[in-house]
Structure 1
Amino acid sequence: MGIKPKSPREALQPEQAPAPPQRSRHVRNPIVILINMVISLAVFGLAAVGGALYFGKHMFEQAGPLTEEATIIIPSGSGLTGITDRLAAKGVIDDTMLDEWVFQLGTRFYKSATKLKAGEYAFAPGVSMNDVMTDLVEGKAVTHSVTIPEGWTTAQIIERVREHPILVGEITEVPAEGALLPETYTFARGATRQSVLDQMKASQDKLLAEIWERRVEDLPVETPEDLVILASIVEKETALADERPRVAGVFVNRLNQNMRLQSDPTILYGLYGGQAWLKDRSAIKQSEIDAENNYNTYQINGLPPGPIGNPGRAAMEAVANPSRTKDLFFVADGTGGHIFAETYDQHRANVRKWREIERQRRQTEQN
């Protein structure tokens, strides 16, 4: 039996489309919808956090608002909030809640909130929050200094330390003459006067022990203290570094031959003590030379009972390793140095030359 052909009307009508497949029950499940929403929120949240971290990191590392160098004192126990307030007040960071929040959060992120050190800090223009944090963590505080000239007496050193405007506190223990090492000492704001003196004494003790171990044999000094005494005399006899070993050699030779040292500075110290170097050294009178006191090496044998000042490293090194000469005398040469002699006759001739130089100078001053 044949298939009945479609009528022209039927042939023109489209075939009926199949019904769409039903949506999966899993897709429509509320749990699935909730999971999808949570995942979407998580992705969005991570993106937001990442953006915030990127933005915060950029703010933390970018140049700050400071336009000129600023010095800030961070007291001990300030805490992160207190430090942030001081930085904002000085314009190191912007005085806004956002910038203060970024600084605090960044400092905590680097686990440095409890590592910030007190002190006085100088910040350059444009310093970033990150650099501020680094300086505070590393304690890169502003340092101050006090310089002690070689040969100063302890009384002079005490006066300089007392007058220093940055140091604080009273001096509770005055070191002995010769116990301090003349150098430049640095310290942070808030350091005490006594702590700086203690540092000078510790430096002297350490250096003296090293020099004593390196001394040559057969020196006419029996103890490190004797070395300091002789070095203090050498220090006041010449300001020229290259002369110190030779001056030390003269005194060593005299001690070995039981000759008196006959050093003018010992006269002044015996008369004026710690104020000796504030006096006119050229005005020593014959009566002062003849006057007996424990320090006057024109009148006593050997070393005086103590140092006449605080010698520097070079003077102590010179005594520990003096020049090997036969010199027994020296006198000024008019140029800041000295002329040395092995015999008294040579020395007398040198003294006459020096007196002639002095006479000519006086004439020149009078004219």
Structure 2
Amino acid sequence: MTEYGRGSGSEPWHPADPLYGDQGWGGQQQYPQQAQAPYGHQAPYGQGQEQGYDPQYQQQQPHAPQQYNDPSYADPSYGGQQEQYGQQEQYAQPEQYAQQGQGYDTPGYPAQQYDPSWETGQAAMPYGTTPADPYGGQNPDLYGTPEAYPPPQPPGRRQEPPEPVSDWETEAEEEERHPFFTGENGDDEHDDDPAGSRSSRGGRDRRGKGKNKKKSKNGVACLVVALVLVGGVGGIGYFGYQFWQGQFGAAPDYAGDGSGSVQVEIPKGVGGYEIGNILKRNGVVKSVDAFVSAQEKNPKGRQIQAGVYTLKKEMSAESAVKLMLSPASQANFVIPEGKRNVWVYEQIDKKLGVKPGTTQGVAKAQAKNLGLPAWANGRANLKDPLEGFLFPASYPVAKGQKPEDVLRKMVARSNEEYGKFELEDKAKQLGVDSPWELITIASLVQAEGTSHDDFRKMAEVVYNRLKPGNPQTYGKLEFDSTYNYIKGQSKIDLTLEELRKYDNLYNTYYYRGLPPGPIGNPGAEALQGVVNPTSDGWYYFISLDGKTSKFTKTNADHDKLVQEFNKSRNN
């Protein structure tokens, strides 16, 4: 028996009923203290809701009149209906239950009889009899057929209908069942079971698949995590190894002093790593790190200069550094300050191993194509158009190079150094025509002077003598160096008769003003003295010992120094 003395099951209930699944469960919490209001005498809406009571229910259901004892149901005009409708339902006391004749299962009171219509809305029927059709035959009873609806669920257990599954979710589900994702080999673990046994264990098979899916997903996740960890550990290990190699490991290196011979040119302004790369490309050292390490260990390693070096193949880095610091390996060609181009051409021919006169012939034939500045082109009556533009410095000159390439580098270096002095602006300030005149004056000062102080005073001597109205030389420079240049010599024992009789534009004893061009290659110090001369009134100078010079402002003072020089020569 069920609660309230009902039978073993509930009455059939069609889902088309508006209160399908609600009213029956609301009856589980009926309060016995509340009296059952007869049909048509219900309480106003809002009362009794906590007992599951719905005032609209009675109006919606077509109950048979004979199922109720309320006279108002059979006769809508019953006068007592209007009178009792507005009466508020009160909780009945025990004595009221006795008066109403309702039985309640409480000591001292008559037992209340259970009315099935409380939950089903149907008239009470004898126990054990076939239930009548609550719908009057209008609707068939579907509970006795295979298509019967499931029994109603309590409100607290009801679930929303499952949402429709989209196609892509279905495809994803099928894809996950593929052996590639589930980790299965495509064979069922129950293949050895008899036919039909798999369907008999359908529920367990589904659970097994779910477990396999979870296991496969967990396995894939673990695999991904493992790969990430392995990759991270591998990366850390690689960089750790590289760090260890850089800090403690020995770089690849050759052994011994090497063999054969190779010439390597090191450009200006490069550091240890650049030098190491050049040596490695030429097969001298095995690795850049080995050379840099050897250079840092050598106390003089930082003194490696730009130039051409004659080295050997496959040398140890230590041997390469030592050889580059030795003058024996250096193939650089150094031009001293004041040297004439004739001397430079001869040395280049020797370094390149070419026939004497080759470089000088290239200089005269290709002077316009070697990079001279615009203000140096088109000059007439020049002995050498490149004179003054082979700047004194160190140059890489070795066999296999072309003379024009070597000359082009020297001219480029001259342009670079001259550009630092802003010669065009200085020429205007000093009263000369162009930078060409300044380079020519610098070559004269370089040839006659011996120190920086000499350069500044000699530059003033030149500027003072160039003035046409000067009372000392009347516009003549009278420099012995200009005569020696045109003669191709370097004598100091020259007579005034010899100097003043030689007719040549370079002879400043014969012609006023500057010579047609420079007479040598001045250095930066001489050029600095030219652009920043003294202003003390010097006109004359003489060197008594060949190392220092003495300056005077008058010819009489100069003659005294000349007599002193001649006396020292005769002793």
Check conservation: 2:452, 2:529, Cα contact below 8 A: no
**2:286 aligned residue (87, 92, 113):** 92
Q: Deviations over 1:173-210 (max 9, x none)?
A: 34521233223356999976544433432343354453
Per the alignment, residue 160 of structure 1 pairs with 347
Cα distance between partner residues in 1 of 2:546 and 2:498 = 26
The aligned counterpart of 2:390 is 180
Residue of 337, 344, 355 corresponding to 1:150:
337
With over 3 angstroms needed to count, the CA separation of the structure-2 counterparts of 1:201 and 1:283, relative to structure 1, is same
Residue segments in structure 2 that go unaligned for 5+ positions in a row: 1-203, 266-276, 288-307, 320-328, 368-384
Deviation at 1:229, TM superposition (A): 1.5
Structure 1 distance, partners of 2:224, 2:243, is 28
Match of 1:64 among 242, 251, 260: 251
- What does residue range 287-326 of structure 1 map to in structure 2 within 5 Å? 288-289=498-499, 290-326=501-537
After superposition, where does 1:42-61 map in structure 2 within 5 Å? 42=227, 46=231, 49-50=234-235, 53-54=238-239, 57=242, 61=246
Query: How far 1:354 moved relative to its partner?
Result: 0.9
Identity of aligned residues (%): 24
C-alpha deviation, 1:50, in angstroms: 3.8
Structure 1 pair 294–217 and aligned structure 2 pair: CA distance change class (3 A): closer
1:68–1:125 Cα contact (<8 Å) kept: no
Does 2:477 align with 1:261? yes
1:12-64 per-residue CA deviation (whole Å, 9 max, x = no partner) reads: xxxxxxxxxx9973555684586378458736853774476257525753321
Contact 2:446 2:526 in 1 (8 A): yes
Q: 1:345 to 1:63 in 2, by over 3 A?
A: same
Please give the alpha-carbon distance, in whole angstroms, between the structure 2 residues aligned to 1:223 and 1:54: 62
Structure having the larger proportion of residues in helix: 1
Q: Where in structure 2 are the equivalents of 1:219-298 lying within 5 Å?
A: 219=430, 221-256=432-467, 257=470, 258-272=474-488, 279-284=489-494, 288-289=498-499, 290-298=501-509
Aligned pair in 2 of structure 1 residues 90, 48: CA closer, same or farther (>3 Å)?
A: farther
2:475/2:512 contact within 8 Å kept: yes
- Deviation readout 1:313-358 (Å, 9 max, x if unpaired): 2222322232112222111122511221111111111101111222
Which string of whole-angstrom CA distances, capped at 9 and with x for unpartnered residues, describes residues 208-244 of structure 1? 4534245386645322111212221111011222111
Given that 1:211 and 1:316 are in contact with CA atoms closer than 8 Å, whether structure 2 keeps it comes out as no
RMSD of aligned C-alpha atoms? 4.6
Decide whether aligned partners of structure 1 residues 63 and 319 sit closer, same or farther in structure 2, where only a CA change above 3 A counts: same
Name the CA shift for 1:91/1:228 in 2 (closer, same or farther; >3 Å). Answer: closer
Number of the residue aligned with 2:410: 200
- Pair member with larger Rg: 2
Q: Distance in 1 between matches of 2:484 and 2:464?
A: 23
Q: Do the aligned partners of 1:245 and 1:323 also contact (CA within 8 Å) in 2?
A: yes
Task: Return closer, same or farther for 1:193/1:234 CA change in 2, 3 Å cut-off.
Answer: same
The structure with higher relative contact order (CA 8 Å, sep 6+) is 1
- The answer on whether the counterparts of 1:244 and 1:315 sit within 8 Å (CA) in structure 2 is yes
State the match for 2:98 in structure 1. none
**Count, aligned residues:** 284
